[in-house]
């Protein structure tokens, strides 16, 4: 159930095509209920216009329900509870929600929603079943109205004059849409990338096999010791998910600034400034503020950690300038391999100088792969940038961890210069760095074994670890780490 008792979602397998299908079941209206609902809809529009209601200042559902009852009273109707609840469900769905898309946006298992045109099924990216067809279909006029409503609730505009929309829904989800057949010949399109309020944690990524405890412990030490990291991968490989997860290792009192075009990162840090770009339309007085401007502004605020959602243009040069002047930076970029990523960074339009590129410490490659019948996200390689090759003049990298597809496991493939530099800077010997790794592995394994994966709980335990490592590790070894009922305390 997505909304009990009104909305049921079922995933079935077609025995002929061997394909899964996502079936949305909603209340069925009889002829009387359909006719009444249409009349109520028309009356409701008049009531809302006459009262000049500002939904932004009041509770939508309360306003709608009170007006719904008022309309029924005007008609002199005393509906049976079943009919009343069914009609109210559709009113709430269409006026306070997102119409036919409402169920899909409420399902926590869905990552992406794609409507490719009129009279064709909506497709989803499901966390368990990946790409899957639904029984949700829009007629052309209905689709255009849905697009106009999405534009309205996101505070943007779309028209036949400019039929492309890039916006953010009130819940933070990313929206891309086209209107009519101006640029997409099958009719309007909608693509929604849902915002996850509860971010994946390092424990989640270990549980799903994207990382193991050893690699995550290595990244933990790297983050704590201000190493620069870029996560690379193709579309939907999980780059931002990894970026958000490793950011939970940032010490709690550090000043953090995140810069994104659409808000996706969620940190449990008080000393955190989340920044997003601003896009304006013709005729608006406000000016555009892009990633480059936000990055320049962020550097003047002296952040200890600077997280940029994705680098793709002139802001990349500024990001590497920040790295080379001592700012710790994490980011993501589109590429399929380390060499492709390096080539992109050195070429137009990014043009990062080779000397600046050597400021990068770690590059992680995220991929989508098939393991058995499942399509899964895996960390293909973790590599380190070790300087410039004197003979060739190229950047030198060293692979430290590599995914083994035969055994579906991540294996160590080389020595770490990052750990060597941390040992040198901290005055540690080999025994100490190994203990640091083993302690973190043990703590991560404990959290995994005890199913402690809420981002607030994980962040709180990491914070406590920074405050008193010996106490926490003693409790872990004794199996006594307990979380209170409230998030954020031990």
pLDDT-derived band of residue 364, with 50, 70 and 90 as boundaries?
Answer: very high
Last-in-domain residue among 424, 445, 477: 424
Together in a domain, 270 and 128: no
In a domain, 455, yes or no: no
List the end-to-end C-alpha distance of the chain, in Å, as a whole number.
34
Count of alpha carbons within 13 angstroms of residue 83, beta-carbon side: 15
Domain finish residue from 193, 211, 241: 193
Distances (CA, A) of 138 to 24, 118, 123, 129, 260: 14, 6, 12, 23, 32
DSSP letters spanning 153-191? HTT----SSS-EEEEE-TTS-EEEEE-TTSS-TTS-EEE
| Helix extents (H) in 229-353 | 239-247, 291-299, 315-324, 338-346
Q: Are the C-beta atoms of residues 132 and 176 closer than 8 Å to each other? A: no
Q: 61: exposed, middle or buried (C-beta count within 10 Å: 0-12, 13-18, 19+)?
A: middle
Question: Looking at residue 485, what is its pLDDT?
Answer: 45
Distance CA 255, CA 157 (A): 36
In a domain, 452, yes or no: no
pLDDT at 486: 45
What per-residue string of b and e applies to 290-329 under the rule 16 or more CB within 10 Å gives b? ebbbbbeebbeeebebbbbbbbbeebbbbbbbbbbeebbb
The answer to whether residue 416 is domain-embedded is: yes
Residue 153 lies in a domain: yes
Report the DSSP beta bridge partners of residue 12: 21
Q: What pLDDT, in 10s, does the model give residues 72-119?
A: 888 888 889 999 999 999 999 998 899 999 999 999 999 999 999 999
Full-model pTM: 0.85
Q: Is residue 272 in a domain?
A: yes
Q: Measuring CA to CA, which residue among 353, 354, 322, 349 is closest to residue 333?
A: 349
pLDDT digits (tens, 9 = 90+) for 39-85: 998 888 887 776 655 555 457 788 888 888 888 888 888 889 999 99
Which pLDDT band holds residue 2 (cuts at 50, 70, 90)?
A: confident
312 and 185 within one domain? no
User: What percent of the chain lies above the pLDDT cut of 90?
Assistant: 69
Confidence at residue 385, expressed as pLDDT on a 0 to 100 scale: 96
The answer to whether position 301 is within a domain reads yes
Partnered with residue 403 across adjacent β-strands are: 410
Residues 36 and 108 in one domain: yes
Number of domains in the chain: 2
Residue 442 included in any domain: no
**What's the CA gap between 139 and 152, in Å, rounded?**
20
Question: How large is the C-alpha radius of gyration of the chain?
Answer: 26
Residues 6+ apart with CB under 8 A from 49: none
474 inside domain: no
Kindly state whether residues 120 and 211 are assigned to the same domain. Answer: no
Q: What is the mean pLDDT of the chain?
A: 90
Residue pair 442/450 in contact by the 8 Å Cβ criterion: no
Range of the domain at 23: 8-193
Same domain, 236 and 332: yes
* CATH number for 271: 3.40.50.300
């Amino acid at each position: 159930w997505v909304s009990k008792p009104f909305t049921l979602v079922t995933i079935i397998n077609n025995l002929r095509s061997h394909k899964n299908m996502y079936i949305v079941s909603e209340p069925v209206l009889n002829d009387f209920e359909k006719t009444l609902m249409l009349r109520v809809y028309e009356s409701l529009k008049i009531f809302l216009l006459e009262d000049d209601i500002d939904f932004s200042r009041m509770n939508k559902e309360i306003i709608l329900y009170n007006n719904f009852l008022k309309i029924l009273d005007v008609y002199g109707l005393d509906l049976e509870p079943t009919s009343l609840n069914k009609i109210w469900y559709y009113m709430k769905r269409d006026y306070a929600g997102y119409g036919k898309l409402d169920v899909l946006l409420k399902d926590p298992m869905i990552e992406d929603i794609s409507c490719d045109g009129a009279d064709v099924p909506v497709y989803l990216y499901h966390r368990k079943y990946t790409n899957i067809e639904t029984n949700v279909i829009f007629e052309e006029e209905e689709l255009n109205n849905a697009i106009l409503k999405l534009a309205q609730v996101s505070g943007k505009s779309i028209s036949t004059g400019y039929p492309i929309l890039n916006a953010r829904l009130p819940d933070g989800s990313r929206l891309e849409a086209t209107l009519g057949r101006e640029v997409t010949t099958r009719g309007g399109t909608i693509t929604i990338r849902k915002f996850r309020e509860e971010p994946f944690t390092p424990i989640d990524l270990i549980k799903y096999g994207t990382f193991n405890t050893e690699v995550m412990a290595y990244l933990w030490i790297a983050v704590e010791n201000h190493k620069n990291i870029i996560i690379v991968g193709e579309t939907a490989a999980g780059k931002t998910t990894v970026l958000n997860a490793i950011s939970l290792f940032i010490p709690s009192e550090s000043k953090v600034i995140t810069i994104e075009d659409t808000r996706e990162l969620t940190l449990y840090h008080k000393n955190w400034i989340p920044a997003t770009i601003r896009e304006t339309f013709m005729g608006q007085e406000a000016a555009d503020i892009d990633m480059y401007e936000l990055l320049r502004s962020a550097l003047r605020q002296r952040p200890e950690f600077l997280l940029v959602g994705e680098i793709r243009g002139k802001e990349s040069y500024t990001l590497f300038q920040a790295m080379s002047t001592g700012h710790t930076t994490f980011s993501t970029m589109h590429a399929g391999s380390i060499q492709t990523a390096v080539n992109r960074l050195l070429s137009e339009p990014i043009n990062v100088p080779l000397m600046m590129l050597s400021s990068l410490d770690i590059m992680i490659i995220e991929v989508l792969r098939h393991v058995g019948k499942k399509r899964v996200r895996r960390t293909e390689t973790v590599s380190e940038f070790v300087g410039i090759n004197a003979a060739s003049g190229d950047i030198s990298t060293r692979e430290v961890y590599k995914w083994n597809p035969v055994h579906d496991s991540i294996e160590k493939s080389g020595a770490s210069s990052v750990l060597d530099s941390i040992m040198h800077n901290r005055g540690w010997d080999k025994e100490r760095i190994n203990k640091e790794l083993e302690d973190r592995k043990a703590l991560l394994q404990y959290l995994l074994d005890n199913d402690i994966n809420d981002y607030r709980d994980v962040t709180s335990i990491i914070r406590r670890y920074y405050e008193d490592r010996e106490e926490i590790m003693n409790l872990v070894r004794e199996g006594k780490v307990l979380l209170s009922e409230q998030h954020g305390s031990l």
